[in-house]
């Protein structure tokens, strides 16, 4: 059993790595598109702030994932294995296709699919899942509105300045907004993997002490989980999902440093605010909504709505596809585990 759990922790960190690869675009698409930083420097900048988030925030999102979405009695290593394999498979497929999906919803959908097969509808905590489902819709809208408002305010403040002055100022400011967004990305998304590892360890009574400081579900997460998850997502961000970066940075709308600042600052503020109350939002949805909000503020015709339809299609498919994959994988994983244990 110990070896099985160790392997699953490694797979969870691989998932965290693929999360960073796909969501690298969220953190740096605008700063690359506006040529404030080169792609390689941009991913290094984002990776640094992904990791830095480990030291500044409570792990509320990890608690939601680890003990808030499923009946604890239904969680076991086999369920966690099916969840991770399904989420990694869907994320890797969409990253290869250049689609900025929600890795969060791939994980949550996979958890739900495996739990339904194992324990039926009673295995799901519907009140918490309904909150997550609500913010699937609300997070991109909030990001859109925040970015649009920030865009209007900054346009009014800078109305008497020349385009050259504005561009120079916001090339500097965009470094700060990219840092804020990368910090928010590390804060919310790394904690989802922490939650999975927490749920895994708490499902094995002899390993409770490895999950929290006092060995109970109410205890604070151990630092080895926090640091390893932030390191994995930072490494994934540094590796970069270049096709996804191209989709968000160049295909949605034409961005200037002025626009990039508004999109990153609006999206980052949204994610940090929701993370502080433990809501596992989609960083992908939020920054995409923010980019669309910036484009709409300029002129509706500047937004490539066809690209938006492609992205929305991937969003809609993520939950059911990840759930279906996990539902199919769970019986196979459980059967193989029984054979191995012999």
What are the 10-residue block averages of pLDDT along the chain, 342 residues in total?
Answer: 91 88 66 74 83 82 86 92 92 74 83 94 89 80 88 84 74 82 83 92 91 83 92 84 54 64 85 86 78 72 59 76 94 89 66
Query: Do the domain assignments include residue 287?
Result: yes
Backbone angles phi, psi at 73, to 5 degrees: -70, -20
User: For residues 268 and 317, what is the distance between their CA atoms, to the nearest angstrom?
Assistant: 25
Give per-residue pLDDT as tens, 228-271: 999 998 888 888 655 555 555 444 455 677 777 888 888 888 88
Q: Are the beta carbons of 26 and 283 closer than 8 angstroms?
A: yes
Q: Dihedral sign, CA of 239, 243, 244, 247?
A: positive
In angstroms, what CA-CA distances link 256 with 39, 74, 178, 214, 249? Answer: 16, 49, 14, 50, 11
Record the tokens describing residue 267, joined without a space: 């999206």
Query: Do the domain assignments include residue 342?
Result: no
User: For residues 265 and 58, what is the distance between their CA atoms, to the nearest angstrom?
Assistant: 21
Q: Are the beta carbons of 156 and 297 closer than 8 angstroms?
A: no
Query: Do the domain assignments include residue 308?
Result: yes
Query: Do the domain assignments include residue 101?
Result: yes
Provide the pLDDT for residue 252.
47
Give per-residue pLDDT as tens, 133-175: 788 778 888 888 988 898 888 888 887 777 677 777 777 787 8
Domain containing residue 69: 2-337
Domains: count for the chain: 1
Provide the pLDDT for residue 175.
82
User: For residues 15 and 190, what is the distance between their CA atoms, to the nearest angstrom?
Assistant: 10
Residue identified by tokens 């509320």 is 60
DSSP 8-state code for residue 250? I
Query: Do the domain assignments include residue 79?
Result: yes
Q: Are the beta carbons of 107 and 83 closer than 8 angstroms?
A: yes
Query: Do the domain assignments include residue 271?
Result: yes
pTM of the model: 0.83
């Amino acid at each position: 059993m110990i070896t099985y759990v160790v392997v699953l922790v490694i797979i969870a960190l691989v998932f965290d790595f693929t999360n960073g690869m796909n969501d690298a675009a969220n953190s740096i698409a605008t700063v690359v598109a506006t040529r404030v930083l080169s792609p390689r420097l941009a991913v290094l900048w984002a990776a640094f702030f992904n990791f830095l988030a480990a030291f500044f925030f409570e792990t509320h999102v990890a608690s939601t994932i680890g003990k808030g979405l499923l009946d604890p009695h239904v969680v076991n290593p086999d369920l966690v294995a099916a969840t991770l394999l399904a989420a990694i498979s869907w994320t890797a497929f969409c990253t290869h296709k250049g689609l900025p999906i929600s890795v969060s919803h791939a994980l949550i959908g996979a958890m739900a699919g495996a739990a339904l097969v194992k324990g039926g509808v009673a295995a799901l905590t519907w009140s918490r899942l309904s909150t997550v489902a609500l913010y699937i819709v609300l997070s991109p809208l909030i990001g859109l509105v925040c970015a649009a408002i920030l865009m209007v305010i900054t346009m009014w403040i800078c109305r008497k300045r020349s385009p050259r002055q504005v561009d120079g100022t916001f090339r500097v400011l965009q470094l700060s907004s990219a840092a804020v967004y990368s910090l928010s990305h590390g804060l919310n998304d790394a904690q989802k993997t922490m939650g999975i590892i927490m749920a895994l360890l708490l499902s094995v009574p002899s390993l409770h002490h490895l999950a929290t400081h006092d060995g109970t579900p109410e205890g604070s997460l151990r630092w080895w989980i926090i640091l390893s998850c932030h390191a994995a997502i930072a490494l994934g961000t540094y590796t970069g999902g270049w096709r996804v970066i191209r989709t968000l940075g160049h295909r949605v709308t034409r961005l200037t440093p002025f626009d990039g600042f508004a999109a990153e600052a609006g999206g980052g503020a949204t994610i940090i605010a929701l993370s502080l109350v433990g809501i596992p939002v989609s960083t992908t949805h939020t920054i995409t909504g923010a980019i669309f909000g910036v484009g709409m503020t300029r002129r509706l015709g500047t937004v490539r709505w066809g690209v938006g339809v492609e992205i929305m299609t991937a969003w809609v498919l993520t939950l059911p596809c990840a759930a279906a994959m996990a539902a199919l994988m769970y019986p196979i994983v459980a059967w193989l585990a029984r054979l191995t244990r012999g």
